[in-house]
C-alpha cells in the first residue's frame, strides 16, 4: 500500500514537471494560452509580468477551497500536491524560459504532446493539477451543465482571451494544443494497444462460438436475447479480438451464417485474463 502511494506521488511529481516543461519551453514563450488555469496565467503573465506558477497557485487555491466547501473533500490531498508541484516547477523553470522553436505549429504540437503526457501520468497516478477540472466541476454544480461541457466553456473562455489580448492566429493554435493534449492524455491513460469489441447475433451461435474458441483462440461470452420486432429468441455473442483478427473473424462468420448481424467497435482498453492485468 505504501509502495503504491509512493509511486503515485512520484508520478504526480514527474507529470507536473513535464507540464511545467511544456509551458516554459513551448507554450508560454510563444503566447499559446492553451486553456485552463495555465492558459489564463499565460495571458496574465504577458499583461502584468507576474510569475506564472504563483498566478496558477493564486487561482487554484480559491477554486479548490470552493470545491471542498460545496462538494466535500472530493479532490483530496493529491490535488493540493499536484497544484503546488506544478506551480513550483513552473516558477523554477521560468527564469530559464527560452522557446525551442518560434514556429507556432511546432510549439503547439510539442507543447500539447509533452503537456498531455504529463497530465496523463498525473491522472494515471490518481491525481490532478486542479485548474480546469475544478472549474468544470463548479460549473456543473451551479448550472447543471455536464463536466465535459464545463471543460469546453472554461477552455473556450481562455482561448477567447488569448485572441483578444494576443491575436486570432495564436488563439487558433491554442485550440490545436488543447485538442492534441486531450488526445495524448487518452493515449497515456489507455495505451495504444487498442482492441476490437465484437457483438454477433446469429441463429448459428454455437458454430460461431466454436470457431472463435478453436480457430481464433479467443474467449467468448453468450447472452440470451429476444428480437424486438419478431419476438423470437436469439443468441448474442460477445468477444474481444485484436485488429489483425477482424478480417479473419468476418470471413469465418460469413462462411457459417451470411444472415448474422455483426457489430464491431473500438475498445481502448481491456483488462483481465488474456489481456492486461488489472492494476490494484
Residue 273 lies in a domain: no
The confidence score (pLDDT) of residue 135 equals 77
Residues 184 and 140 in one domain: yes
Total of domains in the chain: 2
What cell was used for 131?
A: 485548474
Q: What is the DSSP string of the chain?
A: -HHHHHHHHHHHHHHHHHHHHHIIIIIGGGT---SHHHHHHHHHHHHH---HHHHHHHHHHHHHHHHHHHH-S-SHHHHHHHHHHHHHHHHHHGGG---S---HHHHHHHHHHHHHHHHHHHHHTT----THHHHHHHHHHHH---HHHHHHHHHHHHHHHHHHHT-HHHHHHHHHHHHHHHHHHHHHHH-S--EEEEEEEETTHHHHHHHHHHTS----EEEEEE-TTT--EEEEEEEEE-GGGHHHHHHHHHHH-TT-EEEEEEES--BSTTSBPPP-
Higher local confidence (pLDDT), 34 or 126: 34
pLDDT tens digit string along 111-153?
Answer: 999 999 998 898 888 888 887 767 776 777 778 777 557 777 8
Residues 106 and 244 in one domain: no
pLDDT tens digit string along 155-203?
Answer: 888 999 999 999 999 999 999 999 998 888 888 877 766 789 999 999 8
Final residue before a domain boundary, out of 190, 223, 256: 190
Final residue before a domain boundary, out of 152, 175, 190: 190
Residues 97 and 135 in one domain: yes
Residue 139 lies in a domain: yes
In DSSP terms, 224 is beta-bridged to 235
Residues 141 and 43 in one domain: yes
Domain of residue 186 covers 2-190
Residues 183 and 200 in one domain: no
Residues 87 and 177 in one domain: yes
Residue 132 lies in a domain: yes
Chain centroid offset of residue 229 CA: 39
Average pLDDT score over residue span 101-110: 94
Which CATH number covers residue 248?
A: 3.30.70.120
Residue 272 lies in a domain: no
The least confident of 77-81, 143-147, 177-181, 231-235 is 143-147
Average pLDDT score over residue span 249-264: 92
Residues 170 and 54 in one domain: yes
- Looking at the chain, the whole-number percentage of residues with pLDDT higher than 70 is 91
Residues 101 and 14 in one domain: yes
Residues 108 and 163 in one domain: yes
Q: Using CA atoms, how far apart are residues 161 and 155, in angstroms rounded to an integer?
A: 10
Final residue before a domain boundary, out of 159, 190, 221: 190
The confidence score (pLDDT) of residue 75 equals 58
Residues 156 and 233 in one domain: no
The confidence score (pLDDT) of residue 84 equals 92
Mean predicted lDDT score pLDDT of the chain = 86
The confidence score (pLDDT) of residue 275 equals 66
- CA distances from residue 177 to 109, 171, 180 in whole angstroms, order as listed: 6, 10, 5
pLDDT of 89 higher than 90: yes
Amino acid at each position: 500500500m505504501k509502495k503504491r502511494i509512493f509511486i503515485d506521488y512520484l508520478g504526480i511529481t514527474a507529470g507536473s514537471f513535464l507540464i511545467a516543461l511544456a509551458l516554459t519551453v513551448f507554450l508560454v514563450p510563444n503566447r499559446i494560452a492553451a486553456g485552463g488555469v495555465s492558459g489564463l496565467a499565460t495571458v496574465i503573465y504577458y499583461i502584468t509580468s507576474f510569475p506564472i506558477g504563483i498566478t496558477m497557485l493564486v487561482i487554484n487555491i480559491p477554486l479548490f477551497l470552493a470545491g471542498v466547501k460545496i462538494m466535500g473533500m472530493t479532490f483530496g490531498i493529491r490535488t493540493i500536491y499536484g497544484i503546488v508541484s506544478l506551480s513550483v516547477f513552473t516558477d523554477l523553470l521560468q527564469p530559464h524560459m527560452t522557446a525551442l522553436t518560434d514556429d507556432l505549429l511546432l510549439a503547439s504540437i510539442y507543447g500539447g504532446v509533452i503537456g498531455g503526457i504529463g497530465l496523463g501520468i498525473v491522472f494515471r497516478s490518481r491525481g490532478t493539477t486542479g485548474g480546469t477540472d475544478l472549474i468544470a466541476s463548479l460549473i456543473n454544480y451551479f448550472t447543471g451543465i455536464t463536466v465535459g461541457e464545463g471543460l469546453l466553456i472554461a477552455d473556450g473562455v481562455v482561448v477567447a482571451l488569448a485572441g483578444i489580448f494576443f491575436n486570432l492566429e495564436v488563439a487558433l493554435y491554442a485550440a490545436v494544443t488543447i485538442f492534441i493534449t486531450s488526445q495524448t492524455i487518452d493515449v497515456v491513460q489507455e495505451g495504444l494497444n487498442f482492441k476490437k469489441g465484437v457483438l454477433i447475433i446469429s441463429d448459428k451461435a454455437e458454430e460461431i462460438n466454436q470457431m472463435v474458441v478453436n480457430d481464433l483462440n479467443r474467449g467468448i461470452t453468450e447472452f440470451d436475447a429476444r428480437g424486438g420486432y419478431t419476438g423470437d429468441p436469439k443468441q448474442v455473442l460477445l468477444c474481444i479480438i485484436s485488429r489483425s483478427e477482424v478480417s479473419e473473424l468476418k470471413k469465418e462468420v460469413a462462411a457459417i451464417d451470411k444472415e448474422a448481424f455483426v457489430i464491431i467497435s473500438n475498445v481502448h482498453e481491456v483488462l483481465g485474463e488474456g489481456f492486461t492485468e488489472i492494476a490494484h
